[in-house]
Amino acid sequence: MAAALWSLVLLGALCGLGRAMSREEKSKLRNQVVEMFDHAYQNYMDHAYPADELMPLTCRGRVRGLEPSRGDVDDALGKFSLTLIDTLDTLVLLNKTTEFDVAVRRVLTDVRLDNDIVVSVFETNIRVLGGLLGGHSMAVMLRDGGQHMQWYQDELLHMAKDLGLRLLPAFNTSSGLPYPRVNLKFGVRGPETRTGIETDTCTACAGTMILEFAALSRFTGDPVFEAHARRALDFLWEKRQRHSNLVGTTINIHSGEWVRRDSGVGAGIDSYYEYLLKAYILLGDDLFLQRFNIHYASIMKYISQPPLLLDVHIHKPLLPARTWMDALLAFFPGLQVLKGDIRPAIETHEMLYQVTKKHNFLPEAFTTDFRVHWAQHPLRPEFAESTYFLYKATGDPYYLEAGRTILDNLNRFARVPCGFAAMKDVRTGSHEDRMDSFFLAEMFKYLFLLFADAEDLTFDVEDYIFTTEAHLLPLSLSTAPHSSSIPSNRTSKEELDDSNFDWTCPNTRLLFPDPAFPRKLRDPIRSAVDKSCPRPPPYREPGMGHPPLRAQDFMANNPEHLELLRRMGVSLIHLKDGRVQLVQHATQAVSAVAAEDGVRFMQEMMELSSQQQKEQLPPRAIQIVSHPFFGRVVLTAGPAQFGLDLSKSSTGVRGFATVAEPYSGCSEITNAEYVRGHIALLQRGQCMFAEKARHIQKAGAIGGIVIDDNEGSSSDTAPLFQMAGDGRSTDDIPMPLLFLFYKEGNILLEALKEYREVEVLLSDKARDRATIFKGKPLPGSVTEGCVDEPGTEEDCLTEATTPTSFEPIGQSQASTSEPDQLTQSQQDVSSVEQDTSPAEEAQLLEDEDEEEDDGEDDGEDEDDGDGEDDGDAASPGEDGTDAHLAPPRGERDSEDREEPAGDSDSGGQQVDELLADWREDLEAFQQMEKDEL
């Protein structure tokens, strides 16, 4: 099954896209790859062997302890001729069987694995154990072919088992997660080990063992290795954040607590996801595919913002954790090809390709506007890996040209007399005296395969799977003998919802009936990345000093403004949280003058954004005061930059909630008789916030609440923002308008559905219950002979729950307060978002008659721009139905009369359950905030 899956994935589906590369060109480039490999490999053997790595600038070997320490990077070095072992199966792939024979004999003769040295468990596993197993696989394949390696008697496998046993002590923890380091001679216990005191490890470090360890178990018949690797994966799965289904970057190996809660697909996590999918392909265990599918859905929901892949917080997955990306995520498009999700793979790869062409290499980290964040480039192969897989999936010769670019840049900028040197700074072209073993293990494999035809290979590569270090393990291991009693925590039916996922990767011939499809995806992304260095400001004619569009006038829904932006080289990127990012590229402008106008526009926009951040209003509160809530439930709401400023109102605005029709509020309200004198509920989307406010105000509403249409959004995972105007004066809107995310809005809608009348208080902060029920019996207190007992509460609270017992603040009263005079918000040009306080979670107020704190809700954010309410269409619920909306009062009355008598008790029980859930959530978020601080 796994072999069939692998074959389907690697079908080259498309032909004739653009100018096909001739066989002669491909052959020339393939030979160039071999020549470059020879240059690197021979210099290692001549100048560095038996040292672990080559220092190409000084033409000598890097021996640990003899060179200045580079910190954790040196943990990959174990005095075991790392580069030679890491290169074994590359020799076979490049048809160098004679050199492979010599290299294997040297490994068996010269390499010792019992050195008194502390090494990285992760690096030793993927490079050395993986290298030995890959070499063994190739040796067996050649031996079985009857022409080469006839002397081989599984010696590399014996060495691999010896090394596996030396790594096993690292797994001696209560969690099953391995220590990050181990002493090859003494293990992890005892003073002579000089290790074993670490408490933290990265997720990838613990979760990238299953391929090598399972292969070792199945090659040798000893299940202990696979069992330990599975246990580590099981523990990581159990510790995932259950709301987001994401994992953090660093975890405590003893307690299982997340030390770093940022989550992405790059450094620290990358190969954990890779190994879940590849373990399914290699071992045929559905468990791994189930888990990968669940993780992948969350990655695409929270981390993927095509073409970007941005880290987020696992507890607040709608909050970006950083504004830059690291180079290791370049492997992800290749993994998406294996998954069968080609479209985002094409998009992200194109972004990476344009960054590569801009800087010659992929910087170790780069910002969301594609500038250098960390300038190093240690000759990483991940971009070449994704290029190869995309070519195999699409057959598009465009990826052959991308491979040619990689070759040219390596030869032009990294090649030195003694090999290839890592780039110390891609901006200056300076070198670092370093050539990591993965350069020979991975880079030349993927580039050779990119330009090779089937007849150029001595074996069928589709019978193997690549590890994260590109070592080749045979798919036949899925049928190899292994213990069926290996314990594993199975994924429960409740946890698994993989109805949206195929169990085999699709044939790409069916995916792309249009041969131009990949190009259509790439073109918009290419225009979004500046492909050249910024040019000096051009000469400007007199009288041309003012840009045609000023930042304070810009409207994102104005087609004329968008056309002016295009002419100035400014493009818009819509983010998933509703905001937009503006990026300016001088080379995309129609003229040098227009480019300078664009620069000035961006400067104005950044200044305006900075000014508005200082002017931001604090969050507002929506308090449900009717039966059975009585002020105990407070929903955190975002303010508007127009209408009544609730901070200047001592009483707030109080009234009964009703759903406006149409729900979008984007046209004249048709149920004005129900909206009049009430607080109208509206759905985000389709028109401007101010337009919604004017429509419900015309219908007689005393306030409005806009509810997000993005299913799953919540103030505990996304920053609040301010609703802005529509570019016109908003002095004609005296009533308040507040914004609720989907989760909090659904609480209000469910309450409205469950109970006949729901009264809410809109205010600047939660009010204590004594103030809310001033002059009235406090619900739950002993008044006039009534006690708070079952059976008597209904009678005691009749007055407090009758709609006419409180006088809602009318429209005339609301208009007496000064409207907010803040300037309307423009597009948020900053990609930096502010964190939110857990106090923004729905709060439960205590029954005691005492003043409540303000909640310190300091996590507001700007709105998504110019006031355009650009939410997506309403999302259906999990059962396929839309979110429940309360009908007009008359319809609700008729429905209520038909309900069974027992419904009120069940409703009360549901409320109690809701309150318990909210308390639990609030405690969890308070603890999370303490952890983050």
The catalytic residues are: 123, 270, 364, 382
**347 CB contacts (<8 Å, ≥6 apart)?**
306, 307, 521, 522, 525
Whether residue 119 contacts residue 76, with contact meaning beta carbons closer than 8 Å, is answered with yes
DSSP 125-138: IIIIIHHHHHHHHH
Distance CA 31, CA 17 (A): 24
> Residue 252 forms beta bridges with which residues?
200
Strands 633-637 and 620-624: antiparallel
Q: 3-class SS at 465?
A: strand
Amino acid at 458: T
Q: Which two tokens stand for residue 305?
A: 């913002």
Whether residue 406 contacts residue 398, with contact meaning beta carbons closer than 8 Å, is answered with no
**898 CB contacts (<8 Å, ≥6 apart)?**
none
Whether residue 676 contacts residue 701, with contact meaning beta carbons closer than 8 Å, is answered with yes
Whether residue 626 contacts residue 758, with contact meaning beta carbons closer than 8 Å, is answered with yes
DSSP 510-551: HH-SSTTHHHHHHHHHHTTS--SPPPPPPP--TT--S-SS-G
Whether residue 57 contacts residue 431, with contact meaning beta carbons closer than 8 Å, is answered with yes
Residue in 198, 297, 278, 169 with CA at minimum distance from that of residue 233:
278
Question: b/e per residue, 283-298, with b = 16+ CB within 10 A?
Answer: bbbebbbbbbbbbbeb
Phi and psi, residue 95, nearest 5°: 65, 30
> Residue 572 forms beta bridges with which residues?
582
Question: For 357, left (φ over 0), alpha (ψ -120 to 50), or beta?
Answer: alpha
- Say how many Å lie between the first and final Cα of the chain, rounded: 48
Q: Counting every residue, how long is the chain?
A: 933
Whether residue 41 contacts residue 85, with contact meaning beta carbons closer than 8 Å, is answered with no
Inter-CA distances, 87 with 103, 104, 387, Å: 9, 10, 21
Eight-class DSSP state of 474 = E
Whether residue 714 contacts residue 745, with contact meaning beta carbons closer than 8 Å, is answered with no
Residue whose entry in the numeric block shows the structure tokens 């993994």:
335
Q: Which two tokens stand for residue 441?
A: 């293990």
Angle between helices 742-754 and 903-932 (to 10 degrees): 160
Q: Which two tokens stand for residue 464?
A: 């193997």
Distance CA 285, CA 287 (A): 5
Distance CA 238, CA 124 (A): 26
Whether residue 717 contacts residue 588, with contact meaning beta carbons closer than 8 Å, is answered with no
Inter-CA distances, 684 with 413, 446, 725, Å: 52, 48, 14
